[in-house]
Chains A and B, each alone.
Chain A
């Protein structure tokens, strides 16, 4: 009987130990999982802070490229852009994408000095993507920064993506020309149409940069979608038909093209849109075209904006991919 009592007390003590150990273990597990959750939340916040830092670096990079410089820098900045770098929903030719990675030093033109990246990020697994629509909105760049934390950080491998859009001074808000009653010039008189009455505040240098961007991205008269802005410096006779009623073009023959005599437009070449000669030499050549109020150079700007500087697009910040 005594032996049975001993067994019972041993059994009871063992059960108590088991129960208390189980409770202790469950408590520890609970605390540990809470600790892990809390740590992961902190790592995610740290990764987000680093991605924001990289985004700010990219914004400052754009600002330094475009502020107070000749707009011709635009083509140098996008020199290594490629449509193949675009994310999957933006594969058509109008999208221009430039991937900025530290491992690919020389992404930018040598004239453009690069800002240093944040120390916390894992360089081979991080990148910045600059994206814009060269046809409809060449003045609006979407920047997407994607980072992974490096091994110096406690949350090594944590990833985050953040994006924001910027306005760049490559065009200007369209202002319709003020129609003033002007006396009709005599047929022999040759007065070129004033630039501002046709193009508003957008400058020749800006339209030239847009034309270069479209050509740089592979847009042509036969591509889908087609090129809409043509800045021509060549004095050779123009033989290509351009534009359609749904997609009229702007064809500008520059001062350079018109240095001696503006280029002629071949009789078989039909231009739908607007042809503009920067020189009075144009009057020597007859131009046959279907004149349309080409909107190829009308870009969507918010009302009242000062388009001469780099600005963030309000409400465009997102912490996600495309």
Chain B
């Protein structure tokens, strides 16, 4: 290919308008993509928090059903709430309340209900909290475990 032909091609290039037009479209695309990623991350974080809250509630519910020394001491203490933080600094406040479910003439300890509430700062709205409630019941009927 003769040299003047190459020179002519290389000088052709992009016009400012073309470059601007392409940049705007690219910027719009990247902005949309960024928004999608942000929404994904927010949804992911929100779900992660819900998972954590659910795990904390289930952990306490299981502890209530197992008469181990640690669990018994946890429910015997007068303080019926605790705060736990994640590595990201999100604080989860767990509180619980035990009530008796009985009918007239039955032992109040026969059937008990544990209501657990876990609260944490909401990801969606500023200065608001999300809450998860969990309930479980336990009958005092013993298990035959042999001699």
Q: Which residue numbers of A lie inside 8 Å of B, CB to CB?
A: 1-2, 5-6, 9-10, 12-14, 16-17, 20-21, 23-25, 27-28, 30-32, 34-35, 38-39, 42, 45-46, 49-50, 52-54, 56-57, 59-60, 62-64, 113-116, 118-120, 166-167, 302-305, 309-314
Contact = CB atoms under 8 A, between A and B. Distances in A.
Given A49-B134, A116-B101, A24 B36 contact: yes
B144 A302 contact: yes
Nearest to B17: A6
Contacts of A312: 141-144
A318 B45 CA distance: 34
Given A5-B18, A6-B15, A64 B147 contact: no
Contacts of A9: 14, 18-19, 21-22
26 contacts: A1-B12, A2-B15, A9-B19, A9-B21, A10-B22, A16-B29, A20-B29, A20-B30, A24-B36, A31-B40, A31-B43, A35-B46, A38-B47, A39-B47, A49-B135, A52-B137, A56-B111, A56-B139, A60-B139, A63-B141, A115-B103, A115-B111, A120-B135, A303-B147, A304-B147, A311-B142
Interface stretch (B50-58, B68-76, B85-93, B118-126): B50-58
Contact of B26 (A17, A23, A49, A120): A17
Contacts of A35: 43-44, 46-47
Nearest to A306: B144
Contacts of B79: none
A53 B135 contact: yes
B5 to A, nearest CB: 12
The secondary structure that dominates the A interface is: helix
Given A34-B47, A35-B47, A119-B135, A60 B141 contact: yes
B61 interface: yes
A114 B103 CA distance: 7
B81 interface: no
Contact of A305 (B19, B29, B51, B144): B144
Would you list the 6 A-B pairs with minimal beta carbon distance, nearest first? A17-B29, A24-B36, A60-B111, A60-B139, A53-B137, A113-B103
A24 B32 contact: yes
Contacts of B41: 31
A60 B110 contact: yes
Interface of B: 9, 12-15, 18-19, 21-22, 25-26, 28-30, 32-33, 35-37, 39-41, 43-44, 46-47, 50-51, 54, 58, 61, 101-107, 110-111, 113, 134-147
Contacts of B58: 45, 49
Contacts of B113: 53, 118
Contacts of B140: 60, 63
Contacts of B13: 5
A121 B106 CA distance: 24
Nearest to A25: B36
A2 B135 contact: no
A153 B13 CA distance: 63
Contact of A21 (B29, B104, B142): B29
Contacts of A23: 33
B137 A118 contact: yes
Contacts of B139: 56-57, 59-60, 63
B103 A64 contact: yes
Nearest to B103: A113
Contact of A6 (B9, B18, B26): B18
A3 to B, nearest CB: 10
Question: Which of B107, B135, B137 has the largest count of A CB atoms less than 10 A from its CB?
Answer: B137
